[in-house]
Amino acid sequence: MRNAALILGLIGGLMALVVGFAGYGYTEAIRAYGEVDGLFRQVANVEALRTAALLSPILAIAGAGMARARALWGGVLMLGSAGVFYMGFGVTVFTLFPMAFIAIAGLLALAAGRPDEPVRHF
């Protein structure tokens, strides 16, 4: 389970990185060049989107990196990443898969226990 959490978290974090770059770039382009009626509009909360674009991939990739050694911490970071991603971007076609990968990786990391220890995470 730890390996699955690592792989899913890393893939989800990289997809979130692409979506984050696109979201941050979109808000910056609208700020620089202005809105186009009927085509391009600024998002309602620019700072929330930019914060999610920065934090979510970092938390997901860091959590995936911790999933093998510290599954509890890695799982918490990945679930936090999925929450931040949802708060900033919502559910769209482009955010559905990164959020699902990161959330499932977080749940797998939380459910993982060491094979040679009867107690999980502690």
pLDDT tens-digit series, residues 46-79: 999 999 999 999 999 999 999 988 899 999 999 9
Return the structure tokens found at 48. 């929330």
pLDDT digits (tens, 9 = 90+) for 78-116: 999 999 999 999 999 999 999 999 999 999 999 986 654
pLDDT of 116 reads 43
- Cβ contacts of 24 within 8 Å, gap of 6 or more: 49, 50, 53, 54
Amino acid (one-letter) located at 80? G
Average pLDDT over residues 9-16: 96
Cα–chain center distance at 56: 4
16-42 pLDDT per residue, tens: 999 999 999 999 999 998 888 888 888
Let me know how long the chain is: 122
Work out the number of other CB atoms within 10 angstroms of the CB of residue 69: 9
Give the C-alpha distances (Å, rounded to integers) separating 30 from 36, 43, 52, 91, 98: 9, 9, 18, 21, 24
What is the C-alpha separation between 63 and 66, in angstroms, rounded?
Answer: 5
Judge whether 54 and 3 are in contact, CB under 8 Å: no
- Is the model's pLDDT at 119 over the cut of 60? no
Phi, then psi, of 37 in degrees rounded to 5: -55, 125
Return the pLDDT at 121.
60
